[in-house]
Amino acid sequence: MKFGFCNVAIAPLRAENNDRAEMVSQLLFGEFVEVLEIRDNWTFIRNIYDNYEAWVDSKQYKLIEKLEDAHFLTFHLSHACQFESISFPLVLGSRLPNFDGINLKINKEKYLYNGKAINTLENPLSNFKKIALKYLNAPYLWGGRSPYGIDCSGYTQMVYSFFNHALPRDAYMQANLGETINFSGEAKLGDLAYFGKEERITHVGICLGDQQIIHASGKVKIDSFDHIGIFNKETKKYTHFLKTIKRLF
Q: In the chain, pLDDT over 90 holds for what percent of residues?
A: 88
Please determine, for residue 92, whether its predicted confidence score (pLDDT) is greater than 90: yes
- Provide the CATH topology of domain 125-247: endopeptidase fold (from Nostoc punctiforme) (3.90.1720)
233 has pLDDT over 90: no
Residue type, 29: F
**Separation between Cα atoms, residue 228 and residue 240, nearest integer Å:** 8
The more confident residue out of 198 and 143 is: 143
Instruction: Exactly one of 81, 207, 215, 240 is catalytic; name it.
Output: 215
Confidence check: pLDDT of 122 > 90 = no
Task: Indicate if 152 belongs to the active site.
Answer: yes
Where exactly are the structural domains of the chain? Answer: 1-122, 125-247
Task: Classify 1-122 by CATH class.
Answer: mainly beta
Catalytic residue of the set 6, 152, 207, 240: 152
Report how far residue 39's alpha carbon sits from residue 55's, in angstroms, rounded to the nearest whole number. Answer: 10
Q: Is 79 a catalytic residue?
A: no
Per-residue buried b or exposed e for 178-202, using 16+ beta carbons within 10 Å of the residue's own CB: beebeebeebebbbbbbbbeeeebb
| Separation CA 113–CA 117 (nearest Å) | 9
Residue 23 vs residue 232, higher pLDDT = 23
The model's pTM is: 0.96
Tell me if 1-122 shares its fold with 125-247.
Answer: no
Q: How far is CA 164 from CA 20, 52, 70, 107, 157, in A?
A: 33, 17, 10, 23, 10
Mean pLDDT, the chain, rounded, equals 95
Residue 186 pLDDT: 93
Band of pLDDT at residue 172, cut at 50, 70 and 90: very high
Catalytic annotation present for 215:
yes
Least Cα distance to 49 among 132, 120, 129 occurs for: 120
